[in-house]
Chains A and B, each alone.
Chain A
């Protein structure tokens, strides 16, 4: 996957990296066991301090998204090492609140919001399938 950072953003650079890894795992561009670039590689590629990359990786590891194997590198963690079910729900709650808030502002009823989520989920499944097939064919 290709990382990209935008200094001057409201999100600190290390958070931008974290978000990209988490999104890539969610979107299946990154799979458990995939290797991430080293601190040094990523720092040179993005022109950011190696300590910033380290900070992003440390936080990702603390949250269970990735794991570092001594002398081998950093890898996307197996799902079992990630968050507990209730912690995952807690992570989603603010996003759900935000979605409902926006929906209320736009006068979109709950039923339609629910249908939207189901539709988007189907679309995401299809992309995931395509990404996985793409990886297999490589």
Chain B
């Protein structure tokens, strides 16, 4: 059974539609990386999944339960770290941990001690005196010490410097390796997504554009580069099977296809007589830009 199931979920803020019928399911042990431009609806989706925000329409089940009818049970079984979590600044690290410990019957003191030891943070320090990276790790500790069945992280590495980001990733990997945790996280760093996620979901303007296994997704696509194409050539590219999007870069045209490269090459050569086209694979970041960047 899926840990989390969102079916055709809709949500608006005033007249603005943040989610326009998004369906996502997360299976046990899966690590799902949610990507999309700022304002695409990622945070809304995560807050709905965590039972913190009510959907206007559609189905939401977490652990097979309705997160509004079984609010306490669902919240006890999941862990959530918001993108910009507000913590009373004068609260000490240990006081914050105490607060969380009281909320969760399944709190694991042993794990708490292990994690605190790893973070190397004096528990008496006020949260406000911690670095951004340290504060994020304390919040992660608070979200995982009760061994949640589903961990939801909104931009977990947002605003961290590269070293702090790496340390945070290392901690997440360790969790995955030890517990096989199920994680749903959003990120703007495609390399982080590549490191941790097994599946990728891309949303754009409140709609799901991609939902694919990360490893195969990248291999299924390639880019055809036409140096200085004549307008008709660019137009004809659109009629080729598997065409996703094209963008002008300098004087050349980059067109992304969901096709096997060799097959695409022979079609462009033989059928469209585009002899100077070069075909190559794309990095995940380039794919992201290809799918959500401005089209031209």
Contacts and interface: CB of A to CB of B under 8 A. Distances in A.
A11 interface: yes
A37 B163 CA distance: 25
Interface string B165-194: 010011001101110100000000011101
Given A11-B281, A12-B218, A47 B170 contact: yes
B198 A51 contact: yes
Interface residues of A, number: 20
Contacts of A12: 194, 214-215, 218-219
A13 B166 CA distance: 17
A48 B195 contact: yes
A10 interface: yes
Given A8-B190, A8-B194, A52 B215 contact: yes
A50 B177 contact: yes
A42 B31 CA distance: 18
Contact of A48 (B173, B281, B283, B284): B173
A109 B61 CA distance: 66
Nearest to A10: B281
A10 B173 contact: no
B285 interface: yes
B198 A52 contact: yes
Contacts of B190: 7-8
B244 interface: no
A79 B294 CA distance: 51
Contacts of A40: 177-178
Contacts, number: 66
A90 interface: no
A9 B177 CA distance: 24
A43 B176 contact: yes
B176 A9 contact: no
B282 interface: yes
Contacts of B281: 10-11
A13 to B, nearest CB: 6
Interface string A35-75: 00001100110011111100100000000000000000000
Nearest to B287: A10
Interface in A1-31: 7-15
B89 to A, nearest CB: 31
A11 to B, nearest CB: 7
B191 A7 contact: yes
A55 B194 CA distance: 14
Contact of B173 (A7, A13, A14, A43): A43
Contact of B177 (A11, A43, A55): A43
A61 to B, nearest CB: 16
A9 B195 contact: no
A101 to B, nearest CB: 12
B197 interface: yes
6 contacts: A7-B194, A8-B284, A13-B195, A44-B170, A44-B174, A49-B198
Interface of A: 7-15, 39-40, 43-44, 47-52, 55
Given A15-B215, A47-B166, 8 more contacts: A7-B195, A12-B219, A14-B215, A15-B219, A44-B177, A47-B169, A47-B170, A49-B197
